[in-house]
Amino acid sequence: MARERRGGDRKRFLRASRDIEHVKQHGRRLSTTSFNLLICRTEDNDTRVGIVVGKRFGGAVRRNRAKRLFRELTRQVYGQLIAGYSLLVFPKRDAMGLSFDALKAVWCSTLRRQGMLRTPETESPHP
RNA sequence: GGAGAAGACCGGGUGAUCGCUCGCCGCGGCGACGUGGCGAGAGGAAAGUCCGGACUUCAUGGGCAGGGCGCUGGGUAACCCCCAGGCGGAGCAAUCCGACACCAGCACCACAGAGAACAGACCGCCGAUGGCCAACGCGAUUGGACCCCAAUCUCAUCGCUGCGGAUCAGGCAAGGGUGAAACGGCGGGGUAAGAGCCCACCGCGGUGAUGGCGACAUCACCGGCAGGGUAAGCGUCGCUCGAUGCAAGGCCAAAUAGGAAGACACCUGCCGGUCCUCUUCGGAGCAUCGGCGACCGGCUGGCCCGGCCGAGGUCUUCGGGUAGGUCGCUUGAGGUUCGAGGUAACUCGAAUCCCAGAGAAAUGAUCUCCUCUGAUCGAGAGCAUAUCUUGGUCAGGACAGAAUCCGGCUUAUAGGUCUUCUUCACCG
RNA sequence: UCCCCGGUAGCUCAGUUGGUAGAGCAGCCGGCUGUUAACCGGCUGGUCGCAGGUUCGAGUCCUGCCCGGGGAG
């Protein structure tokens, strides 16, 4: 695939709208006060995360900020994610009021409860 | 120092760790790619998409329609932009604001008001002139007052003049009142009352001179009031504008469906009647008359004219195109520093630099120190709960994110710096 | 990256040559009815999205913003 011609983030994130629609159709849904999450099993070996921020969220600066925050969260826990899933994140406006550490705590505990993290018992310090 | 006006600029800095995108170099690999190093990586508005261009493809015969602009001169690739000037308006002033061409034609001007468009007479003023009444004026006659006469006086009658009076015809538009706006303003003369009727000043219009490239200004003379407003209503005049927008457009090209594109030559009637010729008696040809059809569809980016294409044939080629990829994609009306010209916008010349190129879209996360602002606590100076200096703690640091690229406009914007100018107050 | 519509009462919408802002539903009051609905009569309710400008006067004309909706791959 042409997408894999590039390195780095391109493997970890969902970009094509077709894939995002697929997850929206077949995914399992759960929500917190900071974000909504859709989880879907795929045949692919990699796990990909898509971040969707609608126009209602705010201006371009606020939308970019939300996407950057969740991308950073994904990068920090990506090594511990179990392969073979597609995740879709819908950030909420309340998440922007939290600090990065608080958001990370919510993010990790949510993923752990869903069994998406490989090392559930060890509280991972700063990578 | 207070208040204010204009312009220019900045838009937190520094360092550490973990990451992202692109470029270059090294290594590994056929390659995709992986990995290491170095370098670069959001703005003054990147925004709104309101104008103007570059560039792209299509069109490129004529006319009309339509859009835009609108004091003058300049700048520019161009402009609904900028600079300088004129005029009008606001302000004590610095300064600011202005779609600021044309009312010839059509249309509209509600309510109020007498009258609202080449107007009108409600209240009002006058009643000069022609009528009406008519002396307290003049004359005549008769009677009376004094014994008589004259004079004089008085009453009555008549006549004349027409003082005066109210008003009709009529004159007036100064004043009141209505309105956003009422056929110049104010003062004087004049008049029956008035009126540019006359005069001075101002306004207005015309002509001329002077200054200025010009808009226009100043002055002189003349006219004697010409005639309302609205063109961001229809319109007129002048200038100007082809459409399309990087999702433009070029190239490569899965799957599926099946044809697609180009070139060439060629074709213009049908039906009925009549006449003539030929005839194998079925018809054919030619001429004329009548009727039907000369249209419809598509293209020519809005409409009309004009133009082109159409059925079928022959020939040539294998291509067109979606997902996806790739190019366009960042070197440009470019920046910086000097020098020159110009009041300025800006231009010219030289040197020098390369300064984001993503693609559901890269610039992020955490923290240290410094800086700015606010709150609070403490110390010091101080009569002081003004104020100043210093230290600690806690918050906060705006508006906002490139998407083909430039020139502008508009809008959002915490806080701060600098320059110039106006005015007021105080001191000298 | 562009293009095109719309914003008027609580809701759905009218509103042309610029001149008192309207209709239906809803709400409130009264009547009818044993009561409610329906019906009848009346009333209330508006920064005409915002701000400037043109005009004597703007819902209407012009300009600039704000918000909402739709279209072009």
Which CATH number belongs to the domain containing residue A25 in this structure?
3.30.230.10
Residue A104 pLDDT greater than 50, yes or no: yes
How many structural domains is chain A composed of? 1
Q: Does residue A55 form part of some domain? A: yes
pLDDT tens, position by position, A79-103: 788 877 888 888 888 888 788 888 8
Q: What is the pLDDT of residue A5?
A: 27
Nucleotide with minimal C1' distance from the CA of A75 is B19
Query: What does the longest C-alpha to C-alpha distance in chain A come to?
Result: 39
Residues by CB within 7 A of strand B: list them: A 2, 4-10, 13, 15, 17, 51, 59-61, 64-65, 67-69, 71-72, 75, 99-101, 127
Q: Does residue A119 form part of some domain? A: no
pLDDT tens, position by position, A27-73: 888 888 888 888 888 766 677 888 888 777 878 888 888 888 888 88
Torsion of CA A12, A38, A127, A80, to 10 degrees: -80
What average pLDDT does this structure show over A114-126? 56
Q: Does residue A123 form part of some domain? A: no
Q: Does residue A72 form part of some domain? A: yes
Tell me the residue range of the domain where A17 lies. Answer: 12-111
Q: What is the pLDDT of residue A13?
A: 79
Spanning CA of A68 to C1' of C59, the rounded length in angstroms is: 47
CA atoms within 13 A on the CB side of A11: 14
Q: What is the ipTM of this complex?
A: 0.78
3-class DSSP assignment, residue A53? coil
